[in-house]
Amino acid sequence: MSIPFFPPDLFDGDLLLEVVREVGLAPDQRFILGSRTARFEEVLRDGLGVADAVACGSGTSALTLVLHAMGVGPGDEVIVPAYGCAPLASAPSTLGATPVFADVDPWTMVVDPAEVDKLVTERTKVIMPAHVFSVMADMPALRRIATEAGVRLLEDSAVGQGGVLAGRAAGTWGDAGVFSFVQVKTFGMPGEGGMVVTGDPALAREVRMLRNHGQDGVHRFRHHRIGHNSRFDEVMAAFQLRRFATLPDRLERRARIGEYYTSRFADLAARGVLAPPPGRDGRCFYVYSLLADRRDALRDHLTAHGIGSHVYYQAPLPRQPAFAGHAQPGRDWPAAASAARRQLAIPIHPHLTDAQVEHIADEVCRFAATSGAHG
């Protein structure tokens, strides 16, 4: 039995060919920012109950566009997690702002609100938490901190689509939220793309202009702002619209696999393998990540038994060469460093069979049961 971490059959190739033909032969010959993109925006806007949704070229550019629309620039600080994907630091950096790194919770790996609170200064412009793997950040606490400090809250929900915390959907807790549709995300597609969702119509209008070179969509070649090229693809919009109705079923399958794993791994912490917290509230089941004291040995064990796995973020962001200049001297991020040493993701995609899921769980438990798992 061979189980790849990234499945080779994520998408229906026939469906992709159908939508390429549909868009390519349409009379208007509109391949970006056309009627399908507008409809896709409407579907997500109405489904989330937000004021607007703005489709962008990628999740990374969506973060940058929102920060730009919020007026972030040189001299400003944006508080971001010390552990996570590079765009958390690169988005503010490209605008001339300073990413300020907050340590994360040692179990969930999402940013620690207490650490964020300590880092707020008069230069703080935005707090930008991110949901990580299968756990949403503590958005109620972060919303309170942002409100009390009088700063904006940008929710990086790139991995969180479909997650719900305290009855409120991922992406809707902040002044704006961002989704990513890159291939491996829960609503991934065979291309790049992202979405900004917000309850602030004025902010949405700014993002909508900035994504298309600062044009307002009414007067072509009239540029109101210095903008970006972050336009959404009509083929991808048509593809996502065709698949949207089945997203809940795919999310449910991921959630059930995650619940099964967590039940099987509940007693492994004493043996050096820690599962994510149980339950569904505040979960998103994008990636199921274990924390293993002997991470590399566990990865080798799974590989030997035909199971793919994946190590994310092998160093905290302030320890990456690109962002080391923003790391405050004398500061440390011990929980982020621990996560970078111990994190290992196992397959959770909805194409897994029950037998494959059981095989994966069996091998994780078998590894933990060996004497070597104690270190």
Read out DSSP for 36-65?
HHHHHHHHHHHHHT-SEEEEES-HHHHHHH
Residue 297 CA, distance from chain mean position: 27
183 and 217 within one domain: yes
Q: Which of 52, 89, 57 is nearest to 313 (CA)?
A: 89
DSSP E strand boundaries for the chain: 52-56, 77-81, 98-102, 124-127, 152-156, 164-165, 168-169, 176-180, 194-198, 273-274, 288-292, 343-346
- How many other C-beta atoms lie within 10 A of the C-beta of residue 96? 11
Angle between helices 354-369 and 295-304 (to 10 degrees): 130
114 and 229 within one domain: yes
Q: Among 220, 245, 270, where does a domain finish?
A: 245
Residue 143 to residue 136: CA distance in whole angstroms? 13
Q: What is the pLDDT of residue 248?
A: 94
* Domain extent for 203: 13-245
342 and 306 within one domain: yes
Residue 144 to residue 127: CA distance in whole angstroms? 11
80 and 154 within one domain: yes
Token pair 């590989």 is found at: 303
Q: What is the pLDDT of residue 6?
A: 86
Q: Among 185, 217, 245, where does a domain finish?
A: 245
- 4 in any annotated domain: no
- How many other C-beta atoms lie within 10 A of the C-beta of residue 372? 13
179 and 61 within one domain: yes
Residue 302 to residue 170: CA distance in whole angstroms? 32
- 7 in any annotated domain: no
325 and 179 within one domain: no
CATH code: domain of residue 240: 3.40.640.10
Give the count of domains, the chain.
2
CATH code: domain of residue 278: 3.90.1150.10
Name the stretches of the chain with pLDDT < 70.
1, 9, 371-375
105 and 56 within one domain: yes
312 and 226 within one domain: no
232 and 101 within one domain: yes
pTM: 0.94
Beta bridge partners of 274: 291
Catalytically active residues, by annotation: 185
Q: Among 202, 224, 245, where does a domain finish?
A: 245
Q: What is the pLDDT of residue 371?
A: 53
282 and 214 within one domain: no
Residue 282 to residue 279: CA distance in whole angstroms? 8
Cβ proximity of 191 and 240 under 8 Å? no
Q: Could you please report the per-residue DSSP string of 257-318?
A: HHHHHHHHTTT-GGGTEEPPPPSSTTB--S-EEEEETTHHHHHHHHHHTTB--B---SS-GG
215 and 266 within one domain: no
